Amino acid sequence: MSSSDDILRQRLTELEVKLTFIDDAVHELATADADRSLRIAALERALRELRGELSSMRAAPAEDPHNEPPPHY
């Protein structure tokens, strides 16, 4: 084999190694993106629930015994 074949094989090997690292990075980013999407969806659901609870509390303040005025009023 000639020196140029060795150089080409070395360059090809380096490119394969780099491609492997890029594939791993893309996979990690895709996984992180999916995880973030799930967390955002869960936070949005929780926020909707809290808004609903807050609306209920505002609509019926007299039902809460903690909101009754003190006896001296």
Q: Which amino acid is at 30?
A: A
* Cβ 67 vs Cβ 61: under 8 Å: yes
pTM exceeds 0.85 for this model: no
| CA dist., res. 40 & res. 32, Å (int) | 12
Percent of the chain whose pLDDT exceeds 90? 71
How many Cα atoms occupy the beta-carbon half-sphere of 57 within 13 Å? 10
Per-residue pLDDT tens over the stretch 32-57: 999 999 999 999 999 999 999 999 88
